Structure formats: C-alpha cells, structure tokens
Amino acid sequence: MSKLPAAAPLDFVGSSAAVCDAVLTLRGDALHAELGRIAAALLSSPYGLFLPCSGCAQPPAMALEGGLAQGVRADGACIGRYEVSGRPYRLEDWRQLEGLAALTGTLLQMHGLAQRTTHAYAQVEAQLAHQSQILDQIHESVLTMDRMGYITSWNKGAEQLFGYTALEAVGRNILFLYADEAAQEADAFAQEGGRMMEVRRRKKSGEVFWASLSLSPLRDLEDRPVGLIAYLTDITERKLAEERLHHLAYYQELTGLPNRRLFARLVDQALTVAQRNETSACVLYVDLNRFKLINGTLGLQVGDELLRQAAQRFRAALRDEDVVAHMGGDEFAVGLFDMRQHFEATTVARKLQMALDAPFQIGGHDLRVGASIGIAVYPQDGQDAETLLRMADIAMGRAKENAQHPDHGVAFYRLDMNHGMQQRMRIESGLRHALGHGELALHYQPKFEIASGRLVGAEALVRWKHPVRGMIPPSEFIPLAETTGLIVQVGGWVLEQACAQAAIWQRAGLPSFRLAVNVSAREFTPSLPERVADTLRRHDLQPHWLELEITESTLMHDIEQVIDIMDCINALGVALSLDDFGTGYSSLSYLKRFPIDTLKIDRSFTTGIPADSSDCAIATTIISMGRRLGHRVIAEGVETVAQMEFLRQAGCDEAQGYLYGKPLPAEEFEQGLRADWVLPA
C-alpha cells in the first residue's frame, strides 16, 4: 500500500462528485488510482487504494491491520475493493467507506450499461450506412413502399432510372411512375409479391420505358408484412429487339403487311370462330398481272415501290376486319370472314381489281397492273388456312389464264361456283354500264281503291333493256345489286326518274296520285330524307305525290335509327308503305311503333286466295290488324276477279295487279290516266 501524496481532505458530497468525474473521464489504472486517492481523501488516510477484480467473493467489509477494506459490487458481483490505512479507524470511518463503495458500484454499473448501449447503437448506425451504400452501389433500382403504395425508400439506381431524386420520390404514391392507367397491376403487386413482370413506366422526362419488375414483401421485426420491395431494371432495348424480331418473323419488310406465317395464324383463328358460328369464310389469292414485266424492264426499285403502293390500295379497299397479307413477290392474300354467301367474295375481288384501275405514277412512269384472283371457300374447299391458300392459288392460276377478259380475272376453286360467279360478274359490270348508258327504264303499275274504283297510286318498277339480251327482269339484277352495293346508284336513278315523271304529270294538271318508289335496306340511311327533300325541291314536286315502299328487312336494323329516318320522311309529307308484308319476321309489337301509312300484303298470299284457306286467313288477319293499327292495306298481285271479291269482302282498301293493270311504260300509263282509269264496278 503506497503513501499517497498529500491529498486535500474531502467530504462525502465532494468525493461523490469526484467519483462521478473519474468514472466518466478515466479508464483502467488511471481510474483505479484516482478512486484510491478519493478514498484516502475522504477518510483522511495516508494510504488509499482501489483494487479491481472480476467476480471474486470478497467479503463486503473487513478490518485490516492498521486499516479498512470495503468490497465494491455491481449487478450483485464483486468488481473490486477499497483499502485505506495509516491511522486508527473507527466505526464511523467504516460507514463512510461503505457509502463510497456503494456509490462507486452504482456509477460503474450505470456507466457500463450506457457504454454498451452507445456501442450497440453505433453498430446499428454503421450497419444501416453499409446497407444503403450497398443499395446505392448496385445498378438495379430498388425502392420500397408501404402497403398503400407510398414510397418509403429510393436508391441511387432508382434516381438514375427515373430521374427523380430520393427527395422527390419518397412519400409519393408509386402510381405516379405508371405509364398506363394499369391499376390492376398495382393489385397484382399487393397480392402476389415475388412475381416477376414486364411493365411500362414513365421517367421524369416523360419518356416511357419497359422495365422488368420483381417484388418481394417487406416485413417488420415481428414478421408482419408492412410493404413491398421493388427491383426494377430497364429492358427497353431487349423489348425493342424482340419487337424487331417479331416484326421480321411475321411481317413482310417491303410492304409492312403480315406475311404468310401470320396470315395462316390469323386465318386459322378466324376459322375456329367461323366454325362455332357456322358462318362461311373465303381466302383470296391475288397475283398482279404484268408485274414481272415492269420489274424486269424498269428495275427493282420501281417494282418495290409499285408493290408498296398496291399493298396500300388493297388495305384501303378492304374493311378493317378483313386480313390482307403479302405472300412475297407480286402475290397477296386476303381473308374474309363472317360471310353469309360465298359469292360476296367476288364483290371483294372486284373491289381489289378496281383498286388497281388508276395508274401508278412511279419514277415518271404511268404504270398499270391488273390482278388475277383465286378464291377458296371455307368449309367446302378446306378446313385450314394452308389448304385454303393452296386451293386459292390453284384457282388464281385458272383466273390468270383468262386474265385478258375483265370478267374472267377471278375464279373460284370449285368449277360450279365459277359458273354462277361469271354470270353474276357479267350482270354486275353490265349493270354499271347500263346506269350510264340509258338502258334502265321505269314502268308504272296502277293501284286502285277497291271501294270507289278510283286510281289512287302507282308503283314505279325498274326495267333493264339490255341491248343484246332484251328485257331483264328486276329479280335477276336487283338482289345482285343489293349485295354489291350497286343498288344505291340504281335506287338514286329510280328516285330521280320517278320524281321527274311525276313532276311532268303534276305540271300537266292530271289528278294527283301517290307514285311509289321501292327503297332497299341499303338505301335506308340517315341521308335518305335529305336526298328525297332535295329531289322534290329540284323537280318542284308536291310531297303528297311521292311514296316510299320499304321491305320488312329494312326494319330489322337499328330500330331507333329506322324510326328516326321514318319520322323525317313523314315530316316531309312523303308516305311510307311496308312492302311484301307477311314474308319477313317483323315483330308485331314493333310494328305499331313504325310511322307507316300502308301495309302491302305480299303477292304470295294473294295468289292462294280464295282456294288456300291459310292464305285467306293470313290476308284477312293482315287486313283487320292493319285497320286496327290505323294503316291502309293494299294487296299486290291481284290477278283474278275471285281474288278481288274476296279482298273487297275482307275490307281491303286497295289492290294492285295484272287483273286491271300491268306495269306500263310512262306514255301508256299516261294514256290510262287521261282516260280516267277506274276499276269496273
């Protein structure tokens, strides 16, 4: 035990403060020496020591020879002892040393604890700093969000990828990075963490890019899900490469149209639908005539440009749902679906041929090409795209043999179909010609009021005076004109002609009657009322001279629109009648909604009167129903006196038929008018 340098005596409060200071500022031997010095000062002893130990079983206090010793404990274990000596000691001194030891133990214990906590805290801090350094080092962008999708962290990679700093991004909802309103993706997020997906995101610059996104759940210390960790990588380049590959694999580079492979896929898909719906479909194989000559003489560049322009014209000539493909070279293919009758394909084939009518202006040349087209029909000629293409190709070969003849540039694979088609095509091109060359004429058939016997109307019926074939009946060309759309031109001509004729009779001061014009469903569009009004105006014709006959099929379209058009026509003062009534399927409940004036009993029922009891019943029913709904009723096709008598008895208002008046040319009809045409009493 060493004698300490003279130490100023300390009281207990002073020595407590000194112990506190020492514990906070000193370590190891220095601390121990200071504690010994403080003990000596407190007990005014020449010698004072602090001897550290670890966990020995020191008695708490004991008397030494010429001195005192007191153990220091912390957390129940002995951590050292004080010793003082060099003077006689009393019980009081012992108490003081005991107090000092208790204080020292408590202070050392608290300081140890504080130090350990500080250390652990520093360690956690360092770990976090490491982690965020690691996150910032990796190139992937990593972000976390809470369960509502609000961003809670944002690494350097995310800053680089999106262009937003962490300050700008943290706290905002993840949706602000979405390129499309893909809310369902956010739901997939929440439900299926860990999934890998390809998504589109938007950068701060507005640029949209493809990213691969993988998500994993973020959990708290108790393993409860608190959000998601998202890893994103930019995969735009890979996507673009894939798209380029896809385009190369499925499209013709030159024209941008689908190639044979994609065509086959699309057609096969459509055929499964056609099979389910039991509809027909056609594949057309198109080969350009004279292309090889042009390519060979004017060069590949001109040839390529010609193909590009032809492709554009084909695409523009077809409906969106039709598929057109470039097979390579000068060959194209077209898929037509949801067809009612296979001969509709010939109309499309003609359209494609007409798309090539105008010359191509390329490199200072005016180039003309035609097309030979082969048609294969599903399901007759094949059940899949490849077979149909092969059959259409064979048919195209046959069409090419006849390419010089404009009607023969199209051929069906089936010979029997060809025959009908050629006839149809002859009629179609003939009718086009007829329209422009005065081959059409109108005949007029009178309609009589049964009760008074007066002539009250007439029906204008179109006739085609073919220079070679003579008179062609409308039954041969009207249905065809309806499928090709040519009916619109024919109908336009008829309306014009009928109004012109009625205006002549009006000016001549003849008693007025209703002149009926047949209007097909194709013409019954919202522009019809204006067309009618315009025609009336131009001919200065009173509207009560005109009537439009429509068939039940017209009513089957968009009902509200049909009613609108009818209202407009009524508003003009023009009457409407429902032709061929009883042959269609118009629902009786709808019938009362249509603003029509007259129901026309179809000729097929009139024919059976009076022998066929069901025809009689139908005619009687139509008459009484028509009257109850406030319509006039007329019977067409009245050929016998017996029919006329039956209709008179049943209360039918009017009659039209060969019995008292066949359709006649205008001059002959006019003679009847002037002679005061009436039914014999």
Chain positions contacting Mg ion, by CB under 5 A: 518, 549, 579-580
Choose, by CB under 6 A, the member of 226, 639, 640, 678 that binds ligand C2E.
Answer: 639
Choosing among Mg ion, ligand C2E, none, which partner's interface includes residue 330 (Cβ < 5 to 8 Å by kind)?
Answer: none
Place of tokens 């350094």: 133
Of the candidate spans 281-289, 341-349, 469-477, 619-627, the one that interacts with ligand C2E by CB under 6 A turns out to be 469-477
| Nearest CB to ligand C2E, comparing residues 35 and 442 | 442
Residue 29's Cβ-count burial label (10 Å; 0-12, 13-18, 19+) is exposed
Choose, by CB under 6 A, the member of 283, 399, 461, 546 that binds ligand C2E.
Answer: 461
Q: Which of 9, 75, 18 is nearest to 43 (CA)?
A: 9
Q: Count the Cβ atoms, other than its own, within 10 Å of residue 470.
A: 8
Give the shortest CB-637-to-Mg ion separation in angstroms: 8
519-558 footprint of ligand C2E as x/- string (CB under 6 A): -x----------------------------x---------
Place of tokens 């938007």: 202
Residue 491 near ligand C2E by CB under 6 A = yes
Choose, by CB under 6 A, the member of 37, 663, 666, 679 that binds ligand C2E.
Answer: 663
Determine the Cα–Cα distance for residues 389 and 393; give it in Å rounded to an integer: 6
Give the shortest CB-607-to-Mg ion separation in angstroms: 12
Question: Which residues of 220-271 form beta strands (DSSP E)?
Answer: 225-234
Choosing among Mg ion, ligand C2E, none, which partner's interface includes residue 494 (Cβ < 5 to 8 Å by kind)?
Answer: ligand C2E
H/E element, 141: strand 141-146
Both tokens assigned to 590: 């709808």
| Nearest CB to ligand C2E, comparing residues 287 and 602 | 602
Question: DSSP letters along 410-462, please?
Answer: EEESSHHHHHHHHHHHHHHHHHHHHHHTT-EEEEEEEEEETTT-BEEEEEEEE
H/E element, 361: strand 360-362
DSSP helix/strand/coil, 470:
strand
Q: Decide if 457 contacts 449 (C-beta within 8 A).
A: no
Of the candidate spans 32-40, 244-252, 472-480, 530-538, the one that interacts with ligand C2E by CB under 6 A turns out to be 472-480
| Nearest CB to ligand C2E, comparing residues 441 and 629 | 441
Residue 474 near ligand C2E by CB under 6 A = yes
| Nearest CB to ligand C2E, comparing residues 174 and 480 | 480
Choosing among Mg ion, ligand C2E, none, which partner's interface includes residue 462 (Cβ < 5 to 8 Å by kind)?
Answer: ligand C2E
Residue 668 near ligand C2E by CB under 6 A = no
Of the candidate spans 113-121, 129-137, 194-202, 650-658, the one that interacts with ligand C2E by CB under 6 A turns out to be 650-658
The residues with which 84 forms a beta bridge, in sequence order, are: 48, 68
DSSP helix/strand/coil, 512:
coil
Of the candidate spans 470-478, 534-542, 584-592, 673-681, the one that interacts with ligand C2E by CB under 6 A turns out to be 470-478
Residue 470 near ligand C2E by CB under 6 A = no
Place of tokens 């609108």: 564
| Nearest CB to ligand C2E, comparing residues 71 and 657 | 657
Q: Count the Cβ atoms, other than its own, within 10 Å of residue 201.
A: 21
DSSP helix/strand/coil, 153:
strand
Determine the Cα–Cα distance for residues 152 and 221; give it in Å rounded to an integer: 17
Determine the Cα–Cα distance for residues 301 and 308; give it in Å rounded to an integer: 11
Residue 34 near ligand C2E by CB under 6 A = no
Place of tokens 């899949």: 384
Residue 579 near ligand C2E by CB under 6 A = yes
Both tokens assigned to 15: 């020595």
Of the candidate spans 220-228, 242-250, 423-431, 487-495, the one that interacts with ligand C2E by CB under 6 A turns out to be 487-495
| Nearest CB to ligand C2E, comparing residues 376 and 609 | 609
Residue 410's Cβ-count burial label (10 Å; 0-12, 13-18, 19+) is buried
| Angstrom distances, CA of residue 128 to CA of 134, 137, 153, 228, 615 | 10, 14, 13, 19, 96
Give the shortest CB-428-to-ligand C2E separation in angstroms: 16
H/E element, 594: none
| Nearest CB to ligand C2E, comparing residues 349 and 462 | 462
Footprint (CB under 6 A) of ligand C2E, residues 99-158:
none
Residue 484 near ligand C2E by CB under 6 A = no
Q: Count the Cβ atoms, other than its own, within 10 Å of residue 363.
A: 12
| Nearest CB to ligand C2E, comparing residues 382 and 529 | 529
Choose, by CB under 6 A, the member of 83, 287, 552, 636 that binds ligand C2E.
Answer: 636
The residues with which 449 forms a beta bridge, in sequence order, are: 654
394-433 footprint of ligand C2E as x/- string (CB under 6 A): ----------------------------------------
* Per rule CB under 6 A, count of chain residues that contact ligand C2E: 24
Q: How far is Cα of residue 542 from the mean position of the Cα atoms in its chain?
A: 49
Choosing among ligand C2E, Mg ion, none, which partner's interface includes residue 398 (Cβ < 5 to 8 Å by kind)?
Answer: none
Give the shortest CB-634-to-Mg ion separation in angstroms: 10
Question: DSSP letters along 20-61, please?
Answer: HHHHHH--HHHHHHHHHHHHHHHTT-SEEEEEE-SS----SE
H/E element, 74: strand 67-74
| Nearest CB to ligand C2E, comparing residues 140 and 639 | 639
Residue 494 near ligand C2E by CB under 6 A = yes
| Nearest CB to ligand C2E, comparing residues 487 and 591 | 487
Residue 577 near ligand C2E by CB under 6 A = no
Residues that bind ligand C2E (CB under 6 A): 445, 461-462, 473-475, 478, 487, 491, 494, 518, 520, 549, 579-580, 603, 636-639, 656-658, 663
